[in-house]
């Protein structure tokens, strides 16, 4: 085992200490900043791009004392450069973003995916399963890991269906991009007969397809069922704003709108964020909560410094589970801190043209359509 | 039937009007406000990029490009401020009945040109709806979505010719001197603060990463030097935000030379291409040969309007005929021999 691997393993163990403490309901084993700074130092030693980024920003990793002083890695870097502390051959899983930038997809390789799995499951269970039996039928409206092996979302949904779901012949109801409504209907009908709540996990565009298919007829779920909805529309369905989608799903599924939980995650991260409406009667719709091992910090899009509380900034996401890649990721989404968590406000509008030079978003739009 | 000589005379008349406009001392201040360029940037563009010195052969070529139409309505949506000269010249070469809707963002030059020309065949139509154009052609200059919208709104009998947005690429050859190439590229970048579709935003250099790094340093110096005499205008918030993000990404993925009013990013490896936002921001990548350049540019090939290089023949074999190819330093000075955007020839 190399020194880097040994260092990485020790950091993974420390990161998992946060997850275990959370599951046990005890204090975190150390401060967030202590582990974050050690991760930054490790990544600056073993991820060449991160060393360059620190250097460019005048940051000495050895002198770091708080997480926020370590530079964040823009998500675009995952598309044009390798963001990993280990050689390619040591990657156990490699996830790719669905969208491409000029033919390139973002890549996030993992040497110890168990860390991702443990953290994702712990916080997913916390956000989605409160008040439900330990296992319920899990119905997934997304491609399965077998079909989309490089999708971190499919991986996570597979993980959830295995750990939170009751045994079933069919869990994933989208195959070859086609929603099998008949099979889904059959599975829901069985759950209604068995008086069992279900957990439905899916992408926004899959839910829109379901709504379009059932029309006014509705698609009632058993009482106390839960829904987790994630992701954008990516040109795969008509676009529906979040409030409308929630209301339409609640009506179609005949469930409380607060039982529909938004999830926010991305390929470049190892942690996810959820609305807390299913577990906290006082939680606001549209407010996402963080696990103790991840923070979302709105930063000024030019200075990259944290904005004052309550102001909108670009999401800098500090994720202690990103041991071997980038513990701080600069996302493209706008966020705002609010009591209890943060709000997700979509992307910044692109620059309006002041000449005939093509805008970057126009290039990306054209390449997405081609 | 109009004689070709009539069209050429009309274009020549427009060129004289453009020269008159360019020498109007009051124009610069108005263009500074409408374009966001510095006063020096406006003068730089007027002196170097306004095509006043067209030869008879070039005017004849422009006229030959123009198709005859009973009427032409020109929609200027997104273009550099000097572009109305060529746009109106093409329209005037096509028809004796030209209406012009200037860009709402930069209406100054088009309005001044039409006024100075005092050609009864060319009038401003600031609020004309494209759906009201009954016959002839609409020439629209703007983003793809604007062109699509105009095509949707136009009547079936009307031909719509779209001139879209794009970008330029500079190719530095193995034998080129880097300082000389960098100075020439800087001139192409500084014109219009890189907001033109001919502006180079990607620079490929034949050679290895060390040569790309050396070119990056040379271009950084050249942009600094030229920026002292031709300062960049102000970028808006979104442009500054995009630039900051590009700089952070390149600080990770390679090396970035940051200056107050320009950025030069140098990729460490010839991985996927990153296109910087306009505003004097240049992305440099080393490629081993012209075929490597072709592979790298593949995803953006439909958007490339211009290539600057010392070997036009080699580049032409890669990019085809619908891209303007010129020497480095001349990318922003296309001859007045037809549309700037050669992709636009012929109706879609």
B35 and chain A in contact, CB less than 8 A: yes
Mean pLDDT check: name the lowest of A123-132, A220-229, A324-333, A358-367.
Answer: A358-367
Contact B143 A353 (CB under 8 A): yes
If pLDDT is split at 50, 70 and 90, which confidence band does A330 have? very high
Measured CA angle at A327 (ends A309, A98), to 5 deg: 95
Set of chain B residues whose Cβ sits within 8 Å of the Cβ of A72: 248
B315 in a structural domain: yes
Q: Which of helix, strand or coil describes residue A40?
A: helix
Residues B149 and B45 in one domain: yes
The predicted structure's pLDDT at residue A99: 65
Strands A328-338 and B254-259: unpaired
Residues B118 and B232 in one domain: no
Residue range of the domain that includes B70: 4-165
Residues B208 and B302 in one domain: yes
pLDDT at B347 over 60: no
Per residue in B76-89, pLDDT (tens digit) is: 987 899 999 999 99
Selected residue with higher pLDDT from B5 and B197 = B197
Contact B302 A76 (CB under 8 A): no
Mean pLDDT across B297-311: 91
H/E stretch holding A328: strand A328-338
pLDDT at A23 over 90: yes
Nearest CB to B105; choose among A83, A103, A354: A354
Residues B199 and B320 in one domain: yes
B225 in a structural domain: yes
B347 in a structural domain: no
Please identify, among B165, B183, B218, the residue that sits at the C-terminal boundary of a domain.
B165
Among B341, B336, B340, B332, which residue's Cα sits nearest to residue B59?
B336
> What is the chain B residue with the closest CA to A355?
B79
Q: How far apart are CA B183 and CA A337, in angstroms?
A: 47
Token readout for A44 is: 């600056």
B280 in a structural domain: yes
Nearest CB to A53; choose among B141, B252, B341: B252
List all residues 6 or more positions away from B256 whose beta carbon is below 8 Å from its beta carbon. A56, B247, B250, B263, B264, B265, B266
Radius of gyration of chain A (CA): 21
Residues B144 and B219 in one domain: no
The structural domain count of chain B equals 2
Residues 165-224 of B with CB under 8 A from A: 165-167, 192, 194-197, 199, 201
Residues B209 and B82 in one domain: no
Set of chain B residues whose Cβ sits within 8 Å of the Cβ of A74: 245, 248-249, 252
Residues 102-161 of B with CB under 8 A from A: 105-106, 141-145
Strands A294-299 and A287-289: unpaired
The predicted structure's pLDDT at residue B346: 42
The predicted structure's pLDDT at residue A370: 36
Token readout for A240 is: 């529906």
Phi and psi of B265, rounded to 5°?
-105, 135
> What is the chain A residue with the closest CA to B243?
A302
Whole-Å CA distances, B54 to A344, B42, B140, B333:
54, 20, 23, 11
Residues in chain B: 348
> What is the chain A residue with the closest CA to B105?
A354
| Residue A226, beta-bridge partner list | A199
Among chain A, residues having any CB pair with chain B shorter than 8 Å are 49-50, 52-53, 56-57, 71-74, 76-77, 79-81, 83, 101-104, 301-302, 304, 314, 330, 332, 348-360, 362-363, 366-367
If pLDDT is split at 50, 70 and 90, which confidence band does A368 have? very low
Contact A353 B165 (CB under 8 A): yes
If pLDDT is split at 50, 70 and 90, which confidence band does A352 have? low
The predicted structure's pLDDT at residue A312: 97
Burial of B216-241, coded b for 16+ CB within 10 Å and e otherwise, reads bbbbbbbbbebbeebbbbebeebbbb
Token readout for A41 is: 């130092």
Q: How far apart are CA A275 and CA A63, in angstroms?
A: 36
Contact B80 A101 (CB under 8 A): no
Residues B121 and B192 in one domain: no
B94 and chain A in contact, CB less than 8 A: no
- CATH, residue B146: 3.40.605.10
CA B241 to chain centre: 23
Q: Which of helix, strand or coil describes residue A198?
A: coil
Interface test with B, best of A354, A362, A363, A365 (most B CBs within 10 A): A354
Residues B159 and B178 in one domain: no
If pLDDT is split at 50, 70 and 90, which confidence band does B1 have? very low
Could you write out the three-class secondary structure of chain B? Answer: CCCHHHHHHHHHHHHHHHHHHHCCCCHHHHHHHHHCCCHHHHHHHHHHCCCCCCCHHHHHHHHHHCCCCCCEEEEECCCCCCHHHHHHHHHHHHCCCEEEECCCCCCHHHHHHHHHHCCCCEEECCCCCHHHCCCCEEEEECCHHHHHHHHHHCCCCCEEEEECCEEEEEEECCCCCHHHHHHHHHHHHHHHHHCCCCCEEEEEEECCHHHHHHHHHHHHHHHHHHHHHCCCCCCCHHHHHHHHHHHHHHHHHEEEEEECCEEEEEECCCCCCCCCCCCCEEEEEEECCHHHHHHHHHHHHHHEEEEEECCHHHHHHHHCCCCEEECCCCCCCCCCCCCCCHHHCCCC
Report the sign of the C-alpha dihedral through residues B110, B111, B112, B117, in that order: positive
Contact A301 B300 (CB under 8 A): no
Mean pLDDT across A31-35: 98
Whole-Å CA distances, B276 to A128, B168, B194:
41, 12, 11
Name the burial class of residue A158, with classes exposed (0-12), middle (13-18) and buried (19+) by CB atoms within 10 angstroms of its CB. buried
Residue whose tokens read 């036009």: B312
Percentage of chain B lying above the pLDDT 70 cut: 97
Mean pLDDT across A214-239: 83
Per residue in B119-174, pLDDT (tens digit) is: 999 999 988 899 999 999 999 999 888 999 999 999 999 999 999 899 999 999 99
Whole-Å CA distances, B46 to A14, B9, B189, B336:
63, 23, 15, 15
Residues B107 and B229 in one domain: no
B336 in a structural domain: no
Please identify, among B117, B143, B165, the residue that sits at the C-terminal boundary of a domain.
B165
B345 in a structural domain: no
What structural domains does chain A harbor? 113-292 (3.40.50.980)
Mean pLDDT across A103-111: 90
Residues B236 and B113 in one domain: no
The predicted structure's pLDDT at residue A366: 59
Q: CB–CB of B304/B290 below 8 Å? A: no
Mean pLDDT check: name the lowest of A55-69, A263-277, B3-17.
Answer: B3-17
Nearest CB to A77; choose among B236, B253, B303: B253
pTM for the model stands at 0.92
B205 in a structural domain: yes
Contact A355 B80 (CB under 8 A): yes
Q: How far apart are CA A234 and CA A99, in angstroms?
A: 8
Average confidence score pLDDT of chain B: 93
Set of chain A residues whose Cβ sits within 8 Å of the Cβ of B196: 355-357
Token readout for A364 is: 């990306």
Interface test with A, best of B196, B253, B270 (most A CBs within 10 A): B253
Residues in chain A: 370
Residues B294 and B149 in one domain: no
Residues B89 and B171 in one domain: no
List all residues 6 or more positions away from A185 whose beta carbon is below 8 Å from its beta carbon. A219
Contact B252 A52 (CB under 8 A): yes
- CATH, residue B173: 3.40.309.10
Torsion of CA B143, B146, B147, B150, to 10 degrees: -170
B20 in a structural domain: yes
């Amino acid at each position: 085992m190399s020194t880097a691997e040994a260092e990485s393993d020790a950091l993974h163990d420390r990161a998992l200490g946060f997850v275990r403490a959370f599951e046990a309901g005890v204090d975190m084993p150390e401060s967030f900043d202590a582990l974050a700074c050690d991760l930054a130092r490790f990544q600056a030693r073993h991820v060449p791009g991160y060393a360059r980024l620190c250097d460019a920003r005048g940051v000495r990793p050895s002198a770091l004392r708080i997480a926020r002083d370590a530079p964040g890695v823009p998500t675009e870097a995952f598309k044009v450069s390798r963001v990993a502390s280990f050689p390619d051959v040591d990657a156990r899983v490699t996830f790719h973003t669905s969208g491409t930038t000029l033919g390139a997809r973002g890549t996030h390789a993992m040497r110890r995916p168990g860390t991702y799995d443990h953290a994702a499951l712990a916080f997913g269970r916390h956000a989605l399963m409160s008040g439900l039996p330990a296992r319920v039928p899990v119905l997934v409206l997304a491609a399965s890991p077998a079909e989309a092996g490089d999708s971190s979302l499919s991986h996570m949904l597979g993980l959830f269906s295995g750990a939170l779901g009751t045994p079933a012949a069919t869990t994933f109801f989208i195959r070859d991009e086609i929603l099998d409504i008949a099979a889904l209907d059959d599975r829901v009908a069985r759950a209604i007969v068995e008086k069992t709540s279900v957990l439905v996990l899916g992408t926004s565009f899959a839910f829109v397809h379901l709504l379009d298919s059932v029309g006014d007829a509705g698609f009632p779920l058993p009482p106390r069922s839960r829904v987790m909805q994630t992701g954008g529309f990516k040109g795969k369905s008509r676009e529906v704003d979040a409030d409308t989608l929630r209301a339409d799903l609640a009506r179609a599924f005949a469930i409380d709108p607060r039982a529909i939980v938004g999830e926010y995650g991305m390929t470049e991260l190892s942690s996810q964020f959820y609305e807390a409406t299913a577990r906290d009667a006082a939680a606001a719709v549209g407010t996402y909560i963080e696990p103790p091992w991840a923070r979302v910090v709105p930063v000024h899009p030019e200075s990259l410094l944290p904005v004052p509380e309550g102001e909108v900034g670009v999401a800098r996401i500090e994720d202690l589970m990103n041991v071997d890649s980038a513990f701080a990721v600069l996302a493209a989404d706008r966020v705002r801190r609010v009591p209890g968590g943060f709000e997700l406000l979509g992307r910044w509008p692109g620059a309006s043209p002041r000449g005939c030079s093509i805008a970057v978003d126009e290039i990306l739009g054209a390449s997405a359509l081609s | 039937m109009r004689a070709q000589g009539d069209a050429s005379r009309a274009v020549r008349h427009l060129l004289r009007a453009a020269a008159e406009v360019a020498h109007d001392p009051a124009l610069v201040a108005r263009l500074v406000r409408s374009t966001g360029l510095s006063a020096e940037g406006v003068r730089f563009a007027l002196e170097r990029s306004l095509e006043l010195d067209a030869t008879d052969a070039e005017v004849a070529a422009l006229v030959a490009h123009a198709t005859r139409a009973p009427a032409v309505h020109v929609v200027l949506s997104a273009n550099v401020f000097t572009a109305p000269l060529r746009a109106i010249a093409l329209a005037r070469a096509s028809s004796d009945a030209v209406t012009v809707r200037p860009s709402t963002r930069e209406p100054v030059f088009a309005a001044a040109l039409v006024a100075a020309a005092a050609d009864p065949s060319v009038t401003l139509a600031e609020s004309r709806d494209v759906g009201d154009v009954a016959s002839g052609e609409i020439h629209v200059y703007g983003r793809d979505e604007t062109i699509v919208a105009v095509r949707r709104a136009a009547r079936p009998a009307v031909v719509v010719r779209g001139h879209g947005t794009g970008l330029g690429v500079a190719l530095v050859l193995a034998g080129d001197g880097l300082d000389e190439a960098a100075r020439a590229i800087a001139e192409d970048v500084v014109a219009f603060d890189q907001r033109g579709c001919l502006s180079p935003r990607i620079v490929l250099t034949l050679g290895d990463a060390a040569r790309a790094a050396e070119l990056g340093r040379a271009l950084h110096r050249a942009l600094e030097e030229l920026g002292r005499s031709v300062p960049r205008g102000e970028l808006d918030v979104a442009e500054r935000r995009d630039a900051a993000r590009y700089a952070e990404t390149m600080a990770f993925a390679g090396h970035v030379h940051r200056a107050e009013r320009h950025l030069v990013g140098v990729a460490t490896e010839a991985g996927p291409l990153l296109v910087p936002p306009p505003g004097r921001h240049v992305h440099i990548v080393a490629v081993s040969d012209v075929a490597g350049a072709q592979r790298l540019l593949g995803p953006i090939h439909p958007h490339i309007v211009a290539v600057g290089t010392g070997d036009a023949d080699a580049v032409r074999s890669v990019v085809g005929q619908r891209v303007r190819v010129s020497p480095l330093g001349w990318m922003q000075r296309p001859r007045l021999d037809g549309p700037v955007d050669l992709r636009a020839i012929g109706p879609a």
